[in-house]
Amino acid sequence: MGNLFTMLTVWADYGQNALVILDQTCLPNREVYLALKTAEEIWEAIYSLKVRGAPAIGVAAAYGVAVLMQGVEVTDFESFYREFVKVKKYLESSRPTAVNLFMALDRMEARLLRHRGEGVKDWKRVLREEAEAIREEDAAACKRIGEWGVSLLRPGMGLLTHCNAGHLAVSEYGTALAPVYLGQERGYAFSVFADETRPLLQGARLTAYELQKAGVDVTLICDNMASTVMKQGRVQAVLVGCDRVAANGDTANKIGTSGVAVLAKYYGIPFYVLGPTSTIDMGCPTGEQIEIEERAREEVTEKWYARRMAPEGVKVYNPAFDVTSADLITAIITERGIAYPPFGGTLRMWKEKTF
Ligand SMILES: CSC[C@H]1O[C@H](OP(=O)(O)O)[C@H](O)[C@@H]1O
């Protein structure tokens, strides 16, 4: 597995009262760790995807509020709680879609309220404890996701994934990539196609980086190549993460995921969403109620990634053309007129000039 899992994504350093994160905007070029000591720094790290992925955002917010509250010097609960709520609401405003951010902070608040009758040292302690529990439960959940997921797969399978739902998106191990890592440990020799995932390229920058670091056979493709590799029979299952699962199973995930799902259905390929139950939101009856984050236009219009955006030496598949099946074409228009399916007779007539 290489040293992928020694690379921690997020933790709390109470010695320096800091939330420590691996700055994922520097990957794959550099592994840079940041010690965040203010609410503004933590908010910005979540917003700018320095730490990202639904579970990782939840763990970061839990640790973040625990760290920030260690420095609050009041002795009455009302003042302490007022400050807690102020920080909680501020961190909640960083990104709207991943439900783990809100679930984790709600859980921190509930734990604190259960201890309101104790003293300031206890309030600070229980926040540290709850944040650690959230992280540990996330790591355990990801490993179980791996076990369930790998039971659906067979050795040697070709897999496709979109965005990054691996070790970097959680506290440890991953969700969509958890079965891949477990399979790797068992010698299953999966081959994985990683969609680059425009515009922020989590697939190129993070998934390809993770899988290569773990020794998994990964091939980076542009998003518009997913259909071709599926049509070539090189994909037997699609594995993706999730940011919020509605009560009816509708799932919000990185932009482009629904398109991959349509392709998978067309090619008869199983499409699996993987994530912890902490990402399920029963308060959302359907996907219609999920708030979809909209981000800055410059992420699309600017070539912000003017530096290397994939790990050195990663395999790349870069076909210049692909074939769209006739059953997907509504009409063919030429100087001789318009042909509708089935095209054969008209095309033959045109070519043999038999009219
Ligand atoms: C395991 S959750 C991963 C999930 O989060 C990603 O979004 P972002 O990179 O913007 O935080 C993406 O939707 C992944 O599938």
pLDDT classification of 303: cutoffs 50, 70, 90: confident
Q: How high does pLDDT run on average in the chain?
A: 90
| Residue nearest ligand 1's atom 13 by CA | 254
Give residue-wise pLDDT tens across range 204-251: 999 999 999 999 999 999 999 999 999 999 999 999 999 998 888 888
Identify residue 178 by its one-letter amino acid code: A
Whether 1 shows a pLDDT value over 90: the answer reads no
**165-180 average pLDDT score:** 95
List alpha helices for 153-291, DSSP H.
Answer: 178-185, 202, 208-213, 226-231, 257-267
Whole-number Å distance, alpha carbon 322 to ligand 1 midpoint, is 28
> Which of 243, 258, 279 gets mutated to test ligand 1 (max ligand atoms within 8 A of its CB)?
243
Question: Which of these, 48, 311, 312, 295, lies nearest to 205 by C-alpha position?
Answer: 311
Identify residue 65 by its one-letter amino acid code: V
pLDDT classification of 91: cutoffs 50, 70, 90: very high
What residues have CB less than 8 Å from 72, skipping those under 6 apart? 80, 83, 120
Give residue-wise pLDDT tens across range 34-64: 999 999 999 999 999 999 999 999 999 999 9
pLDDT classification of 134: cutoffs 50, 70, 90: very high
Whole-number Å distance, alpha carbon 169 to ligand 1 midpoint, is 6
Predicted local distance difference test score (pLDDT) of residue 349: 80
Whole-number Å distance, alpha carbon 299 to ligand 1 midpoint, is 16
Whether 351 shows a pLDDT value over 70: the answer reads no
Supply the DSSP symbol for 249.
S
pTM (two decimals)? 0.90
What residues have CB less than 8 Å from 332, skipping those under 6 apart? 338, 339, 343, 346, 347
Does any ligand 1 atom lie closer than 6 A to the CB of residue 162?
no
4-142 is classed in which CATH architecture?
A: Up-down Bundle (1.20)
**ipTM of the complex, rounded to two decimals:** 0.96
213 known ligand binder: no
- Atom of ligand 1 minimally distant from the CA of 293: 10
Q: Is 78 helix (H, G, I), strand (E, B) or coil?
A: helix
Whether 115 shows a pLDDT value over 80: the answer reads yes
> Distance of CA 41 to CAs 20, 44, 47, 55, 84, Å?
11, 5, 10, 19, 17
Check whether the bond before 341 is cis (ω within 30° of 0): no
145-352 is classed in which CATH architecture?
A: 3-Layer(aba) Sandwich (3.40)
More confident: 316 or 188: 188
Whether 162 shows a pLDDT value over 90: the answer reads yes
Q: Domain limits of the chain? A: 4-142, 145-352
